[in-house]
Amino acid sequence: MQIFHRSTNTISRATIYGAIFMVAASLWAVLELQRSPYITYAKVARPQPVPFSHQHHVAGLGIDCRYCHTSVETSSFAGIPPTRTCMNCHSQIWTNAPLLEPVRDSFRSGKSLVWTRVNDLPDFVYFDHSIHINKGVGCNTCHGPVDGMPLMFNYASLQMEWCLDCHRAPQKNLRPRDQVFNMRYEQPSILKPVTLDGKEYTDQLSLGTDLVKKYKLRTVADITSCSTCHR
């Protein structure tokens, strides 16, 4: 006595292969989601009380990073400029631009501007700007072409694998200390060599390896130890 129709043979096999495929696909999707901007906010501009443009201030007006982020060389925290810093100029120029009203209001009332944090690490991660600057990690190495960002967003995923990528091979990214704040800096190439202590470098690797020695970087084992960032 025949219970099933012919077609069930095909159907049953199809379902089996289908199931296997579906499981694999969904797993892959989850892993992708983890790295997606939806989770990391990478390259996603945050809402801000004032549409401050780094592009205008850095590229346009050529203001140095440290003018606003004053403690970047001395402290773990780079520093967010107090309203007063904005007003240094904006008490002269754009004095009644409606866009800047929140700033003026803050300065009048003494109530702080409440920005949305852009490069926000989890609270169990302890990052120190000063030491990275000191070892020759350029601002835009991590923050990306800030001078090209009308609205600020974090350039990298800021996920652990991203940190490790550099901590496992710092030579890939180091540059001379005097170039750290140079937004236009390019890694050495045949066309654009970089000179350090009179020596000309045409490729990043040799430059990086020398800088690792020159700046006395700790070993990779050292800087990939857990307590380097977690404590």
Partner 1 sequence: MEEQKQPVALESSAPVIGPGHSFATVTDKISAIVLTRPTSTGWFVGFGVAFLLTMMMLFAIGYLFVRGTGIWGITIPIGWGFAIVNFVWWIGIGHAGTLISAILLLLRQSWRNSINRFAEAMTLFAVSAAGIFPLIHVGRPWLAYWLFPYPNTMNYWPQFRSPLVWDVFAVSTYFTISLLFWFVGLVPDLATLRDRSQSRPAQIIYGMLALGWRGSARHWHRYETAYLLLAGLATPLVLSVHTVVSFDFAVGIVPGWHTTIFPPYFVAGAIYSGFAMVLMLAIPIRKLYGLEDFITERHLQNSAKVMLATGLIVAYGYAIEAFMGWYSGNRYDAFTLWNRLHGPYAIPYWALLICNIFVPQVLWIRKLRTSPPALFLISGVILVGMWLERFIIVVVSLHRDFLTSSWGMYYPTRWDWMTYIGTIGMFLAAMFLFVRILPMISIFEMRTLLPEAEVKPE
Partner 2 sequence: MKHTPIYGLMAEFDSASELVAAARQTHAAGYSKIDAYSPFPVEELAEAIGFHRNGVPLVTLIGGLLGGLSGYLLQWWIATVSYPVNVGGKPYHSWPSFIVVTFEMTILFAGIFAVFGMLALNGLPMPYHPVFNVARFAFATKDRFFLIIFSSDPRYSSVETRRFLESLGPRSISEVPS
Partner 3 sequence: MTIEEQNGKQRREDVCPGKKNQLDLDTARARIAETKGPEFWRSLEELAGSSEFQEMMHREFPKGASEWLDAVSRRGFLKLMGASLAMAGMTACTKQPLEPIVPYVRQPEETVPGRPLFYATAFTLGGYATPMLVESHLYRPTKIEGNDKHPASLGGTDVFAQASILEMYDPDRSQTITYLGDVRTWGDFLKSIRGPLNAQKAVQGSGIRILTRTVSSPAQADQLQSVLKLYPQAKWHVYEPINRDNVYAGAQMAFGEPVETQYKLENADVIVSLDADFLSAGFAGNVRYIRDFAKRRDPDSGNMNRLYVAESTPSSTGAKADHRLPVRAVDIEAFARDLRRIWESKSDFVALAGPGSGAAWAHKHEYLEMVSAVAEDLKAHSGSSVIIVGDHQPPVVHALAHAMNQALGNVGKTVIYTPPVDANPVNQTESLKNLVADMRAGKVDMLFILGGNPAYDAPADFGLADALKNTNIPVRVHLGLYQDETAELCQWHLNEAHYLEAWGDARAYDGTVSIVQPLIAPLYGGKSIYEMVALLAGQPETSGHEIVQGYWKKQHPGADFDAFWRKSLHDGWIENTAFQPKQVSLKPVQIPDYAASDAKSIEINFRRDPSVYDGRFSNNGWLQELPKPMSKMAWDNPVLVGPAMAERMGLRSEDLIELELNGKKLTAPVWIQAGHPDNSVTVFLGYGRRRAGRAGTGAGFDMYPLRYNATPWFTTGVAVTKAGGTYKLATTQGYQTMDTPEGARPLVRTASLDEYHKEPDFAREDEPPAELTLYKPYPYKEEPYAWGMTIDLNSCVGCNNCIVACQSENNIPVVGKEQCVIGRHMHWLRVDAYYQGDRDNPKAYFQPVPCMQCENAPCEVVCPVGATVHSTEGLNDMVYNRCVGTRYCSNNCPYKVRRFNFLLFQDWETPQYKMMRNPDVTVRSRGVMEKCTYCVQRINHRRIDAEREDRKIQDTELQTACQQSCPANAIVFGNINDPESRVSKLKAKARNYSLLGDLNTRPRTTYLAEIRNPNPELET
- Where does this chain bind partner 3 (CB under 8 A)? 34, 38-39, 41, 46, 71, 74-77, 79-84, 106-107, 110-117, 120, 122-124, 126, 128, 130-131, 134-135, 216, 219, 221-222, 225-228, 230-231
Separation of alpha carbons 203 and 4, rounded Å: 69
Q: How many CB atoms within 10 Å of residue 54?
A: 21
Binding segment for partner 1 among 1-9, 46-54, 191-199, 209-217 (CB under 8 A)?
1-9
Separation of alpha carbons 166 and 185, rounded Å: 18
> Six-digit token pair at 27?
């797993």
In the complex, what is the shortest distance from the CB of residue 32 to partner 2, in angstroms, rounded to a whole number? 20
Separation of alpha carbons 184 and 196, rounded Å: 17
Q: Left, alpha or beta for 212 (phi > 0: left; psi -120 to 50: alpha)?
A: alpha
Contact between 124 and partner 2 per CB under 8 A: no
Separation of alpha carbons 204 and 209, rounded Å: 8
Binding segment for partner 1 among 31-39, 107-115, 132-140, 193-201 (CB under 8 A)?
31-39
Contact between 116 and partner 2 per CB under 8 A: no
Q: Which does 82 bind (CB under 5 to 8 A by kind): partner 2, partner 3, partner 1, none?
A: partner 3
Closer by beta carbon to partner 3, 190 or else 221: 221
Residue whose token pair is 């202590």? 197
**Which of 26, 34, 76, 206 lies at the binding interface for partner 1 (CB under 8 A)?**
34
| Three-state helix/strand/coil letters over 183-204 | CCCCCCCCCCCEEECCEEECCH
Residue whose token pair is 């003026």? 104
In the complex, what is the shortest distance from the CB of residue 9 to partner 1, in angstroms, rounded to a whole number? 8
In the complex, what is the shortest distance from the CB of residue 159 to partner 1, in angstroms, rounded to a whole number? 4
Interface residue list for partner 2 (CB under 8 A): 1-9, 12-13, 16, 164, 221, 224-226
